[in-house]
């Protein structure tokens, strides 16, 4: 057995090997140690190797999915080695001591999951491959659970694409340059040969039975290499059984709003800062009622559109659902009862389909048919809905067949039968009746045996080893042990003894034979029905996609009605006019606490495209900046937006540089991360981009920071010419409004009342009068003596600033991007001079005491002798 195990373990490579032994999957050696620790199960031993006991642990086959889920979540990969013949077949092949043949039937990894128990129904499960060929880079991605297959160029970088897809697993070539660009928890290195573009083209033509790829699309060599690597891994993961993959869709550069990884993190689109769904934009918006709809909404928010006609088509559908309250309610009620057709289809075509999956296809397609009939009777449907309705047609014969064939609630497991409905197959019904008659006869025998023996507790039981048998307690066993009792002893256990009888064996044989034939008949019907569904995979997938799109539209309409959101108007010129804009996540959080959100307006146009926003911390600057970025994102994703009115010129790239963070793993400080993100904005933003910049330059010295912020504002205004919101505490920047004609000054309002700071969260015109930093510090609980000392220091700094003309004095005369101004002369510090003049080693005790008093006096006087 160990020889067979080691051969399979060599095939499994770095995967943990689940080795099937009867009703358990066993693990040995290091696999056992790792699994026992991860799963918190007992580690035992079995036999010896090299004179030492072999570590072993195991999990029951019937509950293996839950253990697999824990191993996959812990970052492990698992190879499943199943018994591919029965013990009887093994004995016929090689005698009584023949070992049952086993083979790896599947590799289970985070990106190849299809089981409901291992997946989140509301989250897509992307497996991604990254490749480089002919000087180009590309990505390919597949969600095995639904067959969705996409690919495209890596124009915006690895980090941006991975941030959009949030993959479960990423394939890259062994030792290739992209290895360092993928987080280790996602990384799966594969042989370089899998990433050959020629082999990739051959794999795709073979997969779809084509002689040429012309009908699929015009793919680059890098895209073919990535797609080929995906197919190669899926072929190996399924041990030659490829899952069903829809024809690949090529995503063109520019068809979606470009959002880099830093911006996604800043805006918390699908995940909040803590990595969870709660607190994200998706959580605040999502009112979908199906798993497929939730996955589609997440995809829409992750890749908003840039085509005005497609955006307007989505808005039209949402508007129709908003206006049609009754229809919206009825449609959502219908959708809520439908199963996940896409994932059931994925399991069926991957060869892992169950009777319950067939029931899901039946119920989902029948629900789609009913929805089609209801909508078909309505007039004035929006164009997108009209385009979706044909996807619901053509399934009538399949649905009717499944309705006749299946019981109302089919089981997940097929091994015990019971899923084919009565009346579907007369022969199967006869076999079931025979088996049922035999079971009735066995029940009658039990009553006869009790009467004949006088043992009231006698029972006829069944198990997989003995079959049907008579069972009595140990104290009654002697009465059945006699030769003339008619019973034959079979087994003695603690407390019970088991017997056989000739008439019981006869009836049992009839039951078993009829049951086996009935199960074989059901299995044959199951295979036929699964094949019927697989043959219609493409149109069924189209139906699933259409149901998801309708769920998204009605959910967005529900959210719009619930929150008083408006339909955005798409304009031709690069503008952003927002009346009464709100931040959807912050507003929801405040509403939960019973507090209102203060709405604010925004007006960006070619002649006034850069707002410089000043004001206190906690005053709402960051919220204001982010909410307008989110309004753009929602609008271009096809949603209504949290405002009373919005007019938007479409955005090609969205940038948000808000807050402080570091990346210590890559050797980057907070300020370095800030500068890297700022550099990306300045090098990529265009006149059609929208840029959010918050506190640029605050991570370094005052002079360096001000200089950088000053230059960045000039660059965005003069070179990038993007629509931009720039928040800062450098009040010196407000002087730029005197010579940058498209820059205007705004501030978040605050007031001090009886010594307390009142934050109004309103955006007004003009610069803030001050930053209120000390007031915010007091609110934060900074000790009073520190606040008092800070006030003294502030007075002296402001006095010095007034004398020198301020930090920005002289910058008005600089041409844009000229060399830096000479450093301002520093004011002398008598305290420092006095300290420097002391010769501590030569002081007597009395002189040291006098020096201390003298220095203390200088300090109290603020450095003035």
Residue 619 marked ligand-binding: yes
> What integer is the mean pLDDT of 733-754?
90
With a cut of 70, say whether residue 664 has pLDDT above it: no
Distance CA 371, CA 184 (A): 45
Higher pLDDT, 660 or 141: 141
Average pLDDT over residues 1-8: 92
| Burial degree of 862 (CB within 10 A; 0-12, 13-18, 19+) | middle
SS3 665: helix
Q: Return the pLDDT at 759.
A: 79
For the chain, the domains span 2-108, 116-253, 286-395+536-563, 426-528, 569-813, 830-860
- 243 — phi, psi (to 5°)? -70, 165
pLDDT band at 760; cut points 50, 70, 90: confident
**Residue 285 pLDDT:** 98
Residue 139 has pLDDT above 50, yes or no: yes
Cα distance between residue 148 and residue 442, in whole Å: 52
pLDDT recorded at residue 672: 87
Residue 153 assigned as binding residue? no
Does pLDDT of 443 surpass 50? yes
Lowest-pLDDT range, 345-359, 564-578, 688-702?
Answer: 688-702
User: Can you give the pLDDT at residue 542?
Assistant: 97
Burial 21-37 (b: 16+ CB within 10 A, else e): beebbbbbbebbebbbe
pLDDT on residue 825: 47
pLDDT for position 832: 76
Model confidence at 522: pLDDT above 60: yes
On the question of pLDDT at 668 being above 70, the answer is: no
Domain 2-108 has CATH 3.40.50.300: no
Exposure letters 430-441 (e unless 16+ CB within 10 A, then b): ebbebbeebbeb
- High-pLDDT (> 90) share of the chain, %: 71
Per-residue pLDDT tens digits for 76-107: 999 999 999 888 888 888 887 789 999 999 99
Q: Is residue 616 part of an annotated ligand binding site?
A: yes
786-794 average pLDDT score: 84
Has 683 been labeled as part of a binding site?
no
258 - beta bridge partners? 653
Least confident of 179-193, 198-212, 664-678: 664-678
Tell whether residue 620 is among the known ligand binding residues. yes
622 is in an annotated binding site: yes
Q: Give the least confident one: 202-216, 375-389, 783-797.
A: 783-797
- CATH code assigned to 426-528: 1.10.1420.10
3-state DSSP assignment of residue 833? helix
pLDDT for res 51:
84
* pLDDT reported for residue 824: 41
116-253: which CATH topology?
Answer: Nucleotidyltransferase; domain 5 (3.30.420)
Contact (CB, 8 A) for 79 and 239? no
pLDDT at 809: 66
Give the mean pLDDT of 150-173: 94
Say which CATH topology domain 569-813 has.
Rossmann fold (3.40.50)
Average pLDDT, the chain: 91
Residues 6+ apart with CB under 8 A from 182: 130, 158, 162, 170, 172
Q: Please list, residue by residue across 124-142, b when 16 or more beta carbons sit within 10 angstroms of its beta carbon and e when fewer do.
A: bbbbbbbbbbeeebbbbbb
Alpha-carbon distance 25 to 36, whole Å?
Answer: 13
Residues 286-395+536-563, CATH architecture: Orthogonal Bundle (1.10)
Residue 697 has pLDDT above 90, yes or no: no
Domains 286-395+536-563 and 426-528 share a fold: yes
- Long-range CB contacts for residues 489-496, cutoff 8 Å, separation at least 24: 490/466, 491/466, 496/471, 496/472
For residue 618, say whether it is annotated as part of any ligand binding site: yes
Q: What percent of the chain has pLDDT over 70?
A: 94
* 3-class state of residue 7 by DSSP: helix
Rounded to an integer, the average pLDDT of 119-144 is: 96
Answer yes or no: is pLDDT of 659 > 80.
Answer: no
Mean pLDDT of all residues in 554-576: 97
**In the predicted model, is pLDDT for residue 806 greater than 80?**
no
> Which of the four pLDDT bands, split at 50, 70 and 90, describes residue 235?
very high
* Better pLDDT: 793 or 265: 265
Q: Is 112's pLDDT higher than 80?
A: yes
pLDDT at 863: 44
Contacts of 132 (CB under 8 A, 6+ apart): 138, 176, 177, 178, 222, 225
Mean pLDDT computed over 411-431: 94
């Amino acid at each position: 057995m160990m020889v067979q195990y080691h051969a399979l373990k060599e095939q499994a490579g770095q995967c943990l090997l689940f080795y099937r032994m009867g009703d358990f999957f066993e693990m040995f050696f290091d696999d056992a140690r790792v699994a026992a620790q991860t799963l918190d199960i007992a580690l035992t031993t079995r036999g010896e190797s090299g004179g030492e006991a072999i570590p072993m642990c195991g999990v029951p086959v019937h509950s293996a999915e839950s253990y697999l889920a824990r191993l996959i979540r812990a970052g492990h990969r698992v190879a499943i080695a199943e018994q591919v013949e029965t013990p009887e077949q093994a004995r016929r092949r090689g005698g009584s001591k023949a070992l049952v043949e086993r083979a790896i039937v599947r590799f289970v990894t985070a990106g190849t999951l299809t089981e409901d128990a291992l997946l989140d129904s509301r989250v897509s499960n992307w497996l991604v491959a990254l490749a480089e060929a002919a000087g180009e880079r590309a990505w390919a991605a597949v969600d095995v659970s639904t067959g969705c297959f996409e690919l495209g160029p890596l124009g915006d970088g690895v980090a941006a694409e991975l941030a959009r897809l949030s993959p479960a697993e990423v394939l890259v070539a062994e030792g290739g340059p992209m290895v360092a660009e993928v987080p280790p928890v996602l990384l799966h290195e594969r042989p370089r040969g899998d990433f050959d573009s020629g082999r990739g083209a051959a794999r795709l033509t073979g997969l779809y039975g084509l002689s040429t790829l012309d009908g699929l699309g015009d793919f680059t060599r890098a895209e073919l290499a990535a797609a080929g690597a995906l197919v190669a891994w899926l072929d190996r993961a399924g041990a030659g059984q490829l899952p069903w993959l829809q024809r690949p869709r090529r995503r063109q550069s520019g068809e979606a709003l470009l959002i880099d990884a830093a911006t996604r993190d800043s805006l918390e689109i699908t995940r909040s800062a803590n990595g969870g769904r709660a607190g994200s934009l998706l959580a605040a918006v999502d009112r979908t009622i199906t798993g497929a709809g939730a996955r589609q909404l997440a995809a829409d928010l992750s890749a908003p559109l840039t085509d005005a006609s497609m955006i307007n088509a989505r808005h039209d559908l949402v508007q129709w659902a908003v206006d049609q309250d009754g229809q919206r309610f009825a449609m959502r009620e219908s959708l809520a009862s439908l199963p996940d057709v896409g994932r059931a289809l994925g399991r069926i075509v991957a060869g892992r389909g169950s009777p319950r999956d067939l029931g899901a296809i039946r119920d989902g397609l029948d629900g789609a048919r009913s929805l089609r009939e209801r909508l078909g009777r309505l007039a004035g449907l929006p164009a997108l809905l009209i385009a979706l309705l044909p996807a619901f047609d053509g399934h009538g014969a399949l649905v009717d067949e499944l309705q006749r064939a299946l019981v109302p609630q089919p089981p997940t497991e097929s091994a015990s039968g019971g899923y084919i409905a009565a009346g579907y197959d007369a022969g199967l019904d006869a076999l079931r009746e025979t088996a049922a008659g035999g079971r009735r006869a066995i029940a009658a025998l039990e009553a006869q045996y009790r009467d004949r023996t006088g043992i009231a507790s006698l029972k006829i039981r069944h198990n997989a080893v003995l079959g049907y048998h008579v069972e009595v307690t140990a104290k009654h066993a002697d009465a059945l042990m006699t030769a003339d009792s008619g019973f034959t002893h079979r087994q003695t256990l603690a407390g019970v003894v088991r017997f056989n009888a000739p008439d019981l064996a006869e009836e049992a044989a009839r039951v078993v034979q009829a049951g086996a034939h009935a199960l074989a008949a059901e299995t044959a019907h199951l295979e036929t029905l699964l094949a019927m569904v697989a043959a219609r995979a493409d149109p069924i997938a189209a139906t699933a996609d259409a149901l998801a799109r309708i769920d998204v539209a009605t959910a967005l309409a529900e959210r719009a009605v619930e929150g008083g959101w408006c339909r955005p108007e798409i304009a031709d010129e690069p503008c952003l006019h927002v009346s009464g804009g709100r931040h959807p996540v912050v507003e929801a959080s405040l509403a939960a606490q019973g507090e209102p959100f203060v709405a604010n307006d925004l007006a960006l146009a070619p002649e006034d495209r850069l707002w410089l926003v000043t004001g206190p911390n906690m005053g709402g600057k960051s919220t204001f900046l982010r909410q307008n970025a989110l309004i753009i994102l929602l609008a271009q994703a096809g949603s209504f937006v949290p405002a009373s009115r919005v007019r938007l010129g479409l955005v090609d790239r969205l940038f948000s540089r808000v807050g402080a963070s570091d990346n210590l793993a890559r050797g980057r400080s907070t300020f370095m991360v800030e500068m890297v993100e700022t550099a990306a904005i300045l090098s990529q933003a265009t006149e059609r981009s929208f840029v959010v910049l918050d506190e640029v330059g605050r991570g370094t010295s005052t002079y360096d920071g001000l200089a950088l912020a000053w230059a960045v504002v000039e660059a965005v205004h003069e070179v990038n010419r993007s629509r931009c919101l720039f928040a800062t505490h450098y009040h010196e920047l407000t002087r730029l409004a005197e010579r940058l004609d498209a820059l205007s000054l705004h501030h978040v309002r605050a007031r001090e009342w009886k010594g307390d700071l009142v934050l109004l969260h309103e955006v007004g015109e003009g610069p803030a009068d001050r930053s209120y930093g000390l007031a915010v510090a007091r609110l934060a609980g900074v000790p009073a003596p520190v606040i008092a000392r800070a006030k003294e220091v502030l007075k002296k700094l402001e006095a010095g600033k007034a004398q020198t003309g301020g930090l920005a004095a002289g910058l008005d005369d600089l041409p844009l991007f000229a060399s830096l101004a000479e450093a301002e002369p520093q004011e002398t510090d008598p305290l420092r001079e006095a300290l420097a003049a002391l010769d501590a080693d030569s002081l007597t005790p009395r002189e040291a005491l006098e020096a201390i008093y003298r220095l203390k006096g200088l300090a109290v006087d603020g450095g003035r002798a």
